[in-house]
Amino acid sequence: MGWGSIYKRRVKVFTVALIIYLDYKALQKREKWFSKPKRSALWEMAHERNAKRVLNLIIELEGLWVKLGQYLSTRADVLPEPYITLLKQLQDSLPPRPLQEVCHTIEKELGKSTSDLFSRFVETPLATASIAQVHRACLKDGKEVVVKVQHEGIKAIILEDLKNAKAIVDWIAWAEPQYNFNPMIDEWCKEAPKELDFNLEAENTRTVFENLGCKRGHNFPISSNHVDVLIPEVIQSTEKVLILEYMDGVRLNDYDALEALGVDKQNLVETITRAYAHQIYVDGFFNGDPHPGNFLVSKEPPFRPVLLDFGLTKLISNSMKRALAKMFLASAEGDHVALLSAFAEMGLRLRLDIPEQAMEITNIFFRTSTPATEAIENMKSLAKERTEKMKVIQEKMKTEKKKSKTLNPVDAFPGDAVIFTRVLNLLRGLSAMLNVRIAYLDIMRPFAETTLLGTPGIGSEMNRPWIFETPALSDVEVKLRKLLHEFGSNKILGIQVCAYKDGKVVIDTAAGVLGRYDPRPVQHDSLFPMFSATKGVTAGMLHWLVDNGKLKLDESVANIWPEFGTNGKESTKVHHILNHTSGLQHAMGEVMRGDPLVMCDWNESLKRMTMASPETEPGSEQFYHYLSFGWLCGGIVEKASGRSFQEVLEEAFVHPLNIEGEFYIGIPPGVESRLATLTLDTDDLETFAGRIGQANTVSALPVLFNTLNIRRAIIPAANGHFSARALARFYATLVSGGSIPPPHSPREPPLGSHPHIPKFPSQETKIKTKRSSKNKNTAKTNNDKKHSNEDLPSGSINHNNKFYNGNGTSSDGNTKIFKSPSIRDAFMGVGDYEGLVLPNGKFGLGFRRFGSGCFGHSGMGGSTGFCDVKHGFAMAVTLNKMSLGGVTRKVVQLVCSELGVPLPVDFAETGETGPDMQPTIRTY
């Protein structure tokens, strides 16, 4: 192709593109002057004339533009009807190339004439496509074949078309930044030239043939994910000629023939979808060009689909295959964390923290397909949704990025995902074309699960060790790991166990995987949702404020928090809150039956605490405050300190204990890749439901607490996200009366090595405090001068006038976070504090009493943290498969037995299971 032809081709493309663009822009300016019916008519006429322009240009230029037209013709779910009607013509054969040209290419490539190679060669082609022409023939041995012959000079045309397409996309992205299709065109430029080598196509065809088990008959083992499709056998190939087995069939767009045969179109498209799900999720090798022209339907029952043309076939890595599977399953489960993790693994980077919008867009991507009869309404609905989402994104970019030149929220889009999205769009187009509804989440799910969970006969990609490989720190850790092996994946999904004895770490083990659909191994810095084990930390914050003179245990809550002193709560004391005797055990409990997301609103939750009325006289009876405990304590923390809940948590425990990045109540953006995902022990589900008759409610808990908006909320009674080693270090500090233990064991990454710079939308910049005049001296305002981190020793942290080094020691040499010598008695409500708790109650002042000198707090499903004062022992267990606590019980029993520590009563075989282990909706 000479330079003159190249120039003319380029001018034609850009001229038509500019005309169409200006036509639509002009109509956008004019439409406001017309009535709604008239506007609709004007848009319909614009679509018709521009569709004709596109079709005429494609027919004239052929080449790559035919492929683009074929793709667009399948998008009845999003494109206006005039485009679909006209561009469907491209699914039929284009004008054939001269027979002389075809025969010349065959002889040049195979070294023989058509008469020498074939006993019969049909001169009229079966089809003429953008790159090649297909003729039916018969080999000398009588075998029926088709011969695919590449057009002369097509390579130069395709490469030129790619350049022009790239230039147009660049121009559109400049003129309309929200329509940036560069990632797609870049991947297409990389992959499309591969279609020009028929040797590669032949190898691709053989590979997919083997992967899908496309053998004749059924006298062979069939896996549960087998798909019943046909693929022609490869006979011979060169770079420009491909000879394949002839397969007699009906084209997908031949509706009359399909009806005459009685083909079940629903089953047909479902089978094609299953075939692509197998290629993508099981094989990681899939045809990237499933347009209608690349399928036939066999004429004999059961009317199996015939898959053709494997020129544009994509090979993806195992890691990308797993990431795509995780993205799909995250969408199916509504798991924001898994979705963001999948994005990170596949290399898709977002400019903004928009998890909700990302999930919504992904759900639309995998939504059930829309028949063509609903295409117009569907297109309007999608356009409306897109406008709303862009408003949200635009607003976020204004507030978070100050000023942005583009509204595109995607910073990097992986090339592998481009072909994947194209395949799904083409499959969606097939269902629209055949007017059937396909539930992709149902059909593709088993194949995605195969990738992450493994299926016998297919094989799992995940062959990692069950225990995260680190040297054992003690003999008891060796025995613990043996026990975890015995439990196996049947009872354990992911788990961490950490224990301190006399200030020394003796166990620090991580095992299993982060989630049912997240096969990455649990590591020492993984973050687990803890449910009510969070309450121990929240209670510790109140004790820290008392120890620092910010409030008193026998002080009226209304004196600290004036708004609280209403509706019969005037006599409520701080110790009533800690001892679960305030009578507010059901305050805000209705949120779980109404709108659970109210829990995410910190200020609204505190407001509801101030409006609640006690059910019993404060101090008279002890009832477990399953949710209200956290907000009651949280309100006191903020009002007494004059600072946000998060700031107090960081100063009291996070920084001095050097547990940065592994100790959160409400996670910040940026830690999603380390989060474990909750699931239920299915064996225990019936027991859960049998005890309380709420199977649906219990099943919904993991779904609710796996959502990112819940995880990011400050819910101090139920929403801690800790590693076991961070929580164990917390209790190791409490068991010693506040003395900070020596640096943690040398695991990778080291404890405290993660940055801890959370940003919480619910926290206020300044907390106002109002206290009576007699107690003004107990409160400090938050007006202290802030020090910067400049000129500090390397590795130091400056936090609110206190400098902590990497060992958790402050700059003044203080290695204690509590000053009171009787602080442990305060935790348990004994000794001088006995009068502040209900006699013989199960709770001390914020902590569950596990026996003499033993206290802590467990969470629903099995997580726990506790310590034994007399024996200098502290322990934490985190897990993500929620059960009745059987795994935790066995783990605690083994460790205590080996270390000679008395078994806490709640973990004895005959011991009473504490309220946190009870499977009720009131035990977070």
Amino acid at site 175: A
**Catalytic residue (one of 283, 289, 335, 684):** 289
Active-site residue, 289 included: yes
Q: Band of the pLDDT at 688, cuts 50, 70, 90?
A: low
For residues 784 and 762, the answer to whether their CB atoms sit within 8 Å is no
DSSP state letters, 808-841: S-BTT---BS---TTHHHHHHT-GGGGGGS-TT-
Q: Band of the pLDDT at 61, cuts 50, 70, 90?
A: confident
111 and 233, same domain (yes or no): yes
| pLDDT for position 80 | 78
DSSP state letters, 490-511: HH-SEEEEEEEETTEEEEEEEE
| pLDDT for position 54 | 87
For residues 309 and 242, the answer to whether their CB atoms sit within 8 Å is no
| pLDDT for position 608 | 93
Q: What is the pLDDT of residues 139-175, one digit of tens each?
A: 999 999 999 999 998 888 887 878 887 787 787 777 7
Q: Band of the pLDDT at 776, cuts 50, 70, 90?
A: very low
- Mean pLDDT of all residues in 892-913: 85
Q: Which of 130-134, 250-254, 713-717 has the highest mean pLDDT?
A: 713-717
| pLDDT for position 592 | 62
SS3 587: coil
135 and 252, same domain (yes or no): yes
128 and 207, same domain (yes or no): yes
Structural domain includes residue 205: yes
| pLDDT for position 410 | 56
Reference 913, options 841, 839, 862; nearest CA is 862
Is the per-residue pLDDT at 913 higher than 60?
Answer: no
For residues 59 and 68, the answer to whether their CB atoms sit within 8 Å is no
Residue where one domain finishes, among candidates 187, 209, 244: 187
The CA radius of gyration of the chain, in Å to the nearest whole number, is 34
Of 365-369, 689-693, 753-757, the one with minimum mean pLDDT is 689-693
Structural domain includes residue 376: yes
Residue where one domain finishes, among candidates 144, 168, 187: 187
Q: How many domains does the chain have?
A: 3
Instruction: Give how far Cα 571 sits from Cα of 578, 624, 876, Å.
Output: 15, 19, 36
Structural domain includes residue 38: yes
- Per-residue tokens: 648: 């107090």
- Mean pLDDT of all residues in 266-276: 94
- Beta-strand runs (E) in 358-433: 410-412
| pLDDT for position 385 | 59
Task: Round to whole Å and give the CA distance between 28 and 764.
Answer: 44
Reference 739, options 646, 670, 813; nearest CA is 813
Question: Mean of the per-residue pLDDT values for the chain?
Answer: 81
86 and 164, same domain (yes or no): yes
- Mean pLDDT of all residues in 762-771: 46
131 and 228, same domain (yes or no): yes
43 and 117, same domain (yes or no): no
Is the per-residue pLDDT at 196 higher than 70?
Answer: yes
Residue where one domain finishes, among candidates 139, 170, 187: 187
Reference 162, options 277, 305, 258, 65; nearest CA is 65
What is the value of pTM for the model shown?
0.71
How many Cα atoms are found within 13 Å in the side-chain-facing hemisphere of 9? 24
| pLDDT for position 830 | 96
Q: Band of the pLDDT at 215, cuts 50, 70, 90?
A: low
For tokens 């009535």, name the residue: 35
Reference 185, options 447, 345, 413; nearest CA is 413
Structural domain includes residue 593: no
Q: Band of the pLDDT at 787, cuts 50, 70, 90?
A: very low
| pLDDT for position 800 | 38
Is the per-residue pLDDT at 401 higher than 60?
Answer: no
- Mean pLDDT of all residues in 521-541: 96
Q: Band of the pLDDT at 785, cuts 50, 70, 90?
A: very low
| pLDDT for position 706 | 86
**248: domain CATH number?**
1.10.510.10
Structural domain includes residue 72: yes
Q: Which of 15-24, 669-678, 872-881 has the highest mean pLDDT?
A: 872-881
Structural domain includes residue 570: no
For residues 470 and 744, the answer to whether their CB atoms sit within 8 Å is no
| pLDDT for position 76 | 57
Structural domain includes residue 893: no
Task: Round to whole Å and give the CA distance between 921 and 593.
Answer: 10
147 and 174, same domain (yes or no): no
Q: What is the pLDDT of residues 693-709, one digit of tens each?
A: 454 556 677 878 888 88
| pLDDT for position 118 | 97
Is the per-residue pLDDT at 888 higher than 80?
Answer: yes
| pLDDT for position 550 | 95
332 and 204, same domain (yes or no): no
Stronger pLDDT, 690 or 150, i.e. the higher one: 150
110 and 252, same domain (yes or no): yes
Task: Round to whole Å and give the CA distance between 527 and 628.
Answer: 24
Stronger pLDDT, 813 or 619, i.e. the higher one: 619
Stronger pLDDT, 302 or 72, i.e. the higher one: 302
Q: Band of the pLDDT at 383, cuts 50, 70, 90?
A: low
| pLDDT for position 404 | 42
- Mean pLDDT of all residues in 525-547: 96
240 and 121, same domain (yes or no): yes
Is the per-residue pLDDT at 568 higher than 60?
Answer: yes
- Number of C-beta neighbours around residue 118 at 10 A: 20
179 and 288, same domain (yes or no): no
Percent share of the chain, pLDDT over 90: 47
Q: Note down the domain range covering 219.
A: 99-154+192-315
- Mean pLDDT of all residues in 730-739: 96
- Mean pLDDT of all residues in 640-656: 95
Structural domain includes residue 786: no
Opening angle at CA 420, ends 415 and 424, nearest 5? 150
119 and 231, same domain (yes or no): yes
Is the per-residue pLDDT at 180 higher than 70?
Answer: no
Stronger pLDDT, 103 or 26, i.e. the higher one: 103
Of 3-12, 323-332, 668-677, the one with minimum mean pLDDT is 3-12
Percent share of the chain, pLDDT over 70: 78
Task: Round to whole Å and give the CA distance between 434 and 68.
Answer: 20
Is the per-residue pLDDT at 870 higher than 60?
Answer: yes
Is the per-residue pLDDT at 295 higher than 80?
Answer: yes
